[in-house]
Amino acid sequence: MEGDSSRVREKEVDDAEGIKDGNENSNNKKKQKQRQKKKKKRRSSSLVRFGCLRMESDENGGVDMEVEFPGDRNDPTHLVIMVNGIIGSAQNWRYAAKQFLKKYPEDVIVHCSERNSSMLTFDGVDVMGDRLAEEVKHVRSRHPSVKKISFVGHSLGGLVARYAIARLYEQDLTRELSQTNGDCGTDHLGDSCPENKFKGKIAGLEPINFITFASPHLGSRWHKQIPLLCGSHALERVAARTSWFLGRTGKHLFLTDGKEGKPPLLLQMVRDCEDLKFMSALQSFRRRVLYANASFDRILLLYIVGWSTSSLRRRNELPKIKHLPRGDKYPHVVNVETAKTATLDEVPSEAKVNGQEKINMEEEMIRSLTKVSWERVDVYFKGSRQRLLAHVTIQVKNYWVNSDGADVVQHMIDNFLL
């Protein structure tokens, strides 16, 4: 009897443990199903939130990128034009374009320009600018919902964008001057009402952001950009004569294209001409931003774009690199200057020779371009393995090779004005 009762108890225990195991298995299965449901829910909610990334190429190779939401018609209102540099293509801005759409999926459509790619970048700033202007008109016609426009240019692309916006500039006569008796006085640089002139539109759209990355706004003729020449102006002039290998673009960058009494193109681009309103077009944007490499902007021994020319500063105005702090969120962004216009009424001492004012082309370009306000963002890749590729790392041309510039791109996006 005792043996039988012990066997019964053992059987009861076994049954109880079996039931317990069965309950645990069923509970585990329930938990697993719940986890799967949550995953699906998260996945579906993210799809609803971010939609699907749609990329469309036009007949010229340009790429439109936008987010499409299932079941809804997406009508983005802000067109962002991204312009590549020399020997570049639409692929160069793919990473930045995707980050834009992650941040602003409902508001933005990004167009990566391809009208000036590869060897076409040797045709000259003016020819490239005309092609970009026509491309923007075409893109605008395909997206009737857009009401605002911004430009982001890398290297030579910044100059091309400046030329294109002058082509696309339209004076908006519906806006009136300040109502203070119709007279707003004269600014310290001699221009009447620089910030209160008739506001214009670009391709019929409201201009918002004009942003450049490592762009040679003052050309490549100065700034000691070739270390082997030891900063010798005589040797740099000799080097300028070899600019022919970059075609018409090289002549424009080295300011050797002035003929028949006409100034070089880059010098023309710092003032309003009869048919091209270069400064009015720039001024029409609500903000203008310069991202500049403080150092390492070079390939091998050749500097591509000097800190001075990409940040529109004189060399004695550049911050001291060793005093530039680093932040945690944007470790390679070491200095940010808020928008401000020039306040100097006299020519700096470095532009004076023997007590006589001798304004060279570089000084004239700086004085003219800084009549409008600019935000300046200085970038420094010290300590990065990619520092020798700083010229393309600043835009993340290829994420696998230039990933250290991701924080710089994110800084641009986080501060972008919609």
**pLDDT digit string, tens, across residues 295-321:** 988 654 455 788 999 999 998 999 988
55 — pLDDT class (breaks 50, 70, 90): confident
Residues 149 and 37: their CA atoms lie apart, in Å, by 42
In a domain, 115, yes or no: yes
Average pLDDT, the chain: 78
Q: Residue 333: helix, strand or coil by DSSP?
A: strand
Q: Is the pLDDT of residue 322 over 90?
A: no
pLDDT of residue 342: 66
The top-scoring range by mean pLDDT among 62-71, 191-200, 255-264, 310-319 is: 310-319
Highest mean pLDDT (candidates 29-33, 34-38, 58-62, 386-390) = 386-390
For residue 318, what are the contacts with CB-CB under 8 A and spacing of at least 6? 294, 307, 308, 311
CB 279 within 8 A of CB 272: yes
Q: CA-to-CA distance for 66 and 105, rounded, in angstroms?
A: 7
Residue 114 lies in a domain: yes
Top pLDDT among 243 and 131 is at 131
Predicted confidence band at 360 (pLDDT cuts at 50, 70, 90)? Answer: confident
Question: What are 75-127's pLDDT values in tens digits?
Answer: 899 999 999 999 999 999 999 999 999 999 999 999 999 999 999 999 999 99
The model's pLDDT over 124-179, given as tens digits with 9 standing for 90+, comes to 999 999 999 999 999 999 999 999 999 999 999 999 999 999 999 987 654 444 44
Q: What is the CATH number of the domain that holds 121?
A: 3.40.50.1820
Please give the DSSP secondary-structure letter assigned to residue 279.
H
CA dist 406 and 401 (Å) reads 11
The pLDDT, as a whole number, for residue 262 is 87
In a domain, 319, yes or no: yes
- At residue 366, the pLDDT reads 95
pLDDT, average across residues 375-404: 95
Q: What band does 45 get if pLDDT is binned at 50, 70 and 90?
A: very low
Tell whether 91 is covered by a domain.
Answer: yes
The reported pLDDT for the residue numbered 24 is 56
In a domain, 381, yes or no: yes
HSE-up (13 A, CA, CB side) for residue 119: 1
How many Å apart are CA 146 and CA 108, to the nearest integer?
9
Instruction: For residue 298, tell me if it sits in a domain.
Output: yes
Q: Which of 25-39, 258-272, 337-351 has the highest mean pLDDT?
A: 258-272
Domain-located, residue 180: no
DSSP run (H or E) holding 43: helix 2-50
Tell me the CA distances in angstroms from 380 to 137, 330, 336, one per residue in order.
Answer: 36, 11, 12
The residue segments making up the domain with residue 374 are 52-172+198-217+265-341+359-415
Higher-confidence residue of 105 and 345: namely: 105
Residue linked to tokens 């390939």: 299
Predicted local distance difference test score (pLDDT) of residue 327? 82
Distance CA(388)–CA(410), nearest Å, equals 21
DSSP conformation class of 287: E
Q: Which of 27-36, 65-74, 110-119, 187-196 is predicted least confidently?
A: 187-196
CA distances from 208 to 60, 72, 201, 227, 342 (A): 26, 27, 10, 38, 21
60-65 mean pLDDT: 71
- 155 burial via Cβ count (<10 Å: 0-12, 13-18, 19+): buried
The two structure tokens encoding residue 251: 């002549």
Helix (H) or strand (E) holding 290: strand 287-293
Instruction: Determine the angle formed by the axes of helices 156-168 and 125-142, rounding to 10 degrees.
Output: 60
State the Cα–Cα distance between residues 18 and 46, nearest whole angstrom.
41
User: According to the model, what pLDDT value does residue 228 have?
Assistant: 38
Name the amino acid, one letter, at 33: K
Q: The sheet that has 148-154: what strands, in order across it?
A: 52-57, 63-68, 108-112, 78-83, 148-154, 206-213, 287-293, 374-379, 333-340
What is the bridge-based pairing of β-strands 108-112 and 63-68? antiparallel
Residue 23 lies in a domain: no
Number of domains in the chain: 1
Percent of the chain with pLDDT over 70: 67
Q: What is the pTM of this model?
A: 0.78
Give the CA count within 13 Å in the CB-facing half-sphere of 72: 13
Q: Provide the percentage of residues in the chain whose pLDDT is more than 90.
A: 53
pLDDT greater than 90 at residue 61: no
pLDDT score for 354: 39
